[in-house]
């Protein structure tokens, strides 16, 4: 299984330069680093074909990377990434955004050689507008780096440090038999007591799924849900619960768990994933939105029929 890192930026910001610096200086030896142009012909990209374009690029990166994880420098936005059918080889992905000021971007593009055909006002205005669009979705990125007044070495180091820190701290995976004993020490907000046999019965059901966040072989986050099949044959995934131990909350681990669950649901041929929470749970709502969730049920009421306390 591979980790996938998208480093996104518009033309002229410096993503290719940062990726090249990381590659040439061997700062991420466990990663194969590609520019999107290395994988697919960017001239074939358009709004109608972006999904196939990126799916083909990722498949090619999986082959070329061999036994390494993957970094792809591109200009994709996280909302489009959610529409991509990730190959089974990709266990998780994160989004990194690099930007600079509008004035600096205009200056850099104007300074490029004329042969690159990126110095016209029309082209530059398009890049500035798209960068502003990406910034409006800043909450969907796990890291934002502004390189308006910075050098490539510092930008590269910030990206590498972020990636390495994430690798050292966290692993997201599906709950399996070898993890069940670790669940006995997991503490959620309701002090739920877990039982190995009950957990085993849960994961034995092919329509059930549990997901865990592990740090130093300790489970610090747990989520679970179910695949539900509708009468018309379509499948949805209901995320029943997600909990992160109190001392690890507000660090992005809940968002990571949700993103992992989303990828599982897509691989399971579900056409959507949904969950239920309270508007008053502001921190949870922010977490779900950061993972790409959209509130589409402002007027719904939930009725509960309790049969046992």
| Model pTM score | 0.61
Of the candidate ranges 55-59, 67-71, 97-101, 295-299, the one whose mean pLDDT is the lowest: 295-299
Topology of domain 2-169 in CATH is Rossmann fold (3.40.50)
Question: pLDDT value at position 10?
Answer: 94
The residues of the chain that CATH labels 3.40.630.30 are: 171-290
d(CA 49, CA 53): 6
Location of each CATH 3.40.50.300 domain in the chain = 2-169
Check residue 217 and give its pLDDT.
Answer: 74
> Does 48 score more than 80 pLDDT?
no
pLDDT at 45 (0 to 100): 61
- Distance, first Cα to last Cα, the chain: 42
What mean pLDDT is predicted for residues 171-182? Answer: 90
Contact call for residues 58 and 87 (beta carbons, < 8 A): yes
Q: In the CATH scheme, what is the homologous superfamily, with its name and number, of domain 171-290?
A: Gcn5-related N-acetyltransferase (GNAT) (3.40.630.30)
- Joined tokens for residue 41: 């012909």
């Amino acid at each position: 299984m591979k980790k996938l890192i998208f480093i996104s930026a518009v033309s002229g910001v410096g993503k290719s330069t940062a990726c090249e610096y990381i590659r040439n200086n061997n700062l991420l030896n466990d990663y194969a680093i590609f520019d999107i142009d290395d994988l697919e012909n960017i001239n074939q990209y358009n709004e109608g074909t972006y999904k196939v374009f990126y799916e083909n690029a990722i498949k090619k990166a999986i082959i070329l990377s061999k036994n390494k994880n993957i970094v792809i420098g591109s200009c994709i936005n996280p909302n489009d990434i959610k529409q991509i059918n990730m190959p089974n080889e990709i266990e998780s992905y994160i989004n990194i955004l690099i930007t600079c000021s509008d004035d600096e971007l205009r200056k850099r593009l104007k300074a490029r050689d004329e042969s690159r055909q990126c110095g016209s006002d029309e082209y530059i205005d398009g890049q500035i507008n798209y960068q502003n669009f990406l910034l409006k979705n800043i909450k969907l990125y796990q890291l934002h780096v502004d390189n308006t007044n910075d050098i490539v070495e510092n930008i590269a180091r910030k990206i590498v440090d972020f990636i390495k820190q994430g690798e050292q701290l966290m692993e997201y995976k599906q709950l399996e038999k070898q993890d069940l004993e670790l669940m006995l020490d997991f503490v959620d907000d309701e002090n739920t007591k877990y039982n190995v046999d009950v957990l085993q019965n849960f994961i034995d059901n092919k329509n059930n799924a549990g997901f865990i966040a592990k740090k130093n072989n300790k489970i610090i986050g747990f989520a679970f849900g179910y695949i539900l099949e509708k009468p018309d044959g379509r499948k949805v995934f209901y995320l029943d619960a997600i909990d992160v131990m109190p001392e690890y909350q507000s660090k992005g681990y809940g968002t990571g768990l949700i993103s992992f669950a989303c990828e599982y649901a897509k691989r399971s041929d579900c056409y959507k994933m949904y969950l239920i929470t309270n508007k008053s749970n502001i921190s949870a709502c922010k977490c779900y939105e950061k993972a790409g969730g959209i509130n589409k049920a402002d007027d719904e009421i939930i009725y509960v029929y309790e049969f046992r306390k």
